[in-house]
Amino acid sequence: MWRTACLILFFLVSSVALAEAEGFPWLSSLELGDQVKQSGARLIDLPLGLHALEEVSDENNRIVIGVHGWRSEGYEWVYPLLTMDSDRTTTYFFRWDFNECPIKSGRILLTEIQSALETHPNTETIVIVGHSLGGILLASVADEFTLAVKTEIHLVASPLASIESEACAEQALPERSFASRDIFEWRTQHALDNAFNRLDEDPQNVEIPGSLVVRLPDTYNGRRLGHNWSISWVAEKLVDE
């Protein structure tokens, strides 16, 4: 009877583990094409927090983190995450509550990055890409990123001019970019970005001393280079560096 009970317990534990493994959006299982929206939904269905999308290896020396924007459906992240990954990279996705002040989730992200570094002793570089409101999240805590490794903060199609608000009084632009914590601003064309083109002024236009500003082109692979495609364009540029 004891042997039978052990077998039943083993079967139950194995079944749960298998179900979790099948349900988890492992990076290698995310699909493009007709399945991209289903893949994106799996990302957005993750619980709040920082999630490794692949097995963590001590040999990897680079961490890439994607931070989604307001009401993201996740599909716009599938190609960029696959593109930025490599044999020496561990790729993460940060799920956060965009109905709260971004700075609150930004500080949670920073704490979770510090914890992740403890499991990545050989990390040399962290690349964090925030899209749209996710860029505001990163910008609002950029001055608090005093990590022991080189950090790149990429703000993609982010309405940074709206970072300061009465509802989120603590939020402000970073004071400056510096060597160990580089800030990159990737701005879409105001007239082509449907998230911004109804506004008289381009909300991406701000001054962050020392940051590198890149204005994206009009088209990408024959398509209008708008709000969501901007992440894919930037991901390819980061790989080409």
Interatomic CA distance for residues 119 and 92, integer angstroms: 13
Q: How confident is the model at residue 1 (pLDDT cuts 50, 70, 90)?
A: very low
* Choice among 6-10, 194-198, 210-214 with the minimum mean pLDDT: 6-10
List the domains of the chain with CATH numbers.
31-240 (3.40.50.1820)
Interatomic CA distance for residues 210 and 27, integer angstroms: 34
Over range 95-112, report the average pLDDT.
97
DSSP assignment of 38-105: HHHHHHHTSPSEEEESS---TT--EEEEEE--TT--SHHHHHHHHHH--TTEEEEEEE--TTS-HHHH
Percentage of residues in the chain having pLDDT higher than 70: 89
Percentage of residues in the chain having pLDDT higher than 90: 79
pLDDT tens column, 19-38: 344 456 699 999 999 999 99
DSSP 8-state symbol, 33? G
Cβ atoms of residues 132 and 153 within 8 Å: no
Find where tokens 């209008």 sit: 224
Cβ atoms of residues 230 and 157 within 8 Å: yes
pLDDT tens column, 48-65: 999 999 988 888 999 999
Over range 118-141, report the average pLDDT.
95
Interatomic CA distance for residues 234 and 83, integer angstroms: 10
Provide the residue count of the chain. Answer: 241
What type of residue is 132? Answer: S
Q: What is the mean pLDDT of the chain?
A: 90
Q: Given this model, what pLDDT does residue 224 score? A: 97
The enclosing H or E element of 7 equals helix 2-23
Q: Which of 44, 71, 67 is nearest to 153 (CA)?
A: 67
Sign of the alpha-carbon dihedral angle for 116, 81, 226, 218 = positive
73-87 burial, b at 16+ Cβ within 10 Å, e below that, comes to ebbbbbbbbbbbbee
Over range 133-151, report the average pLDDT.
95
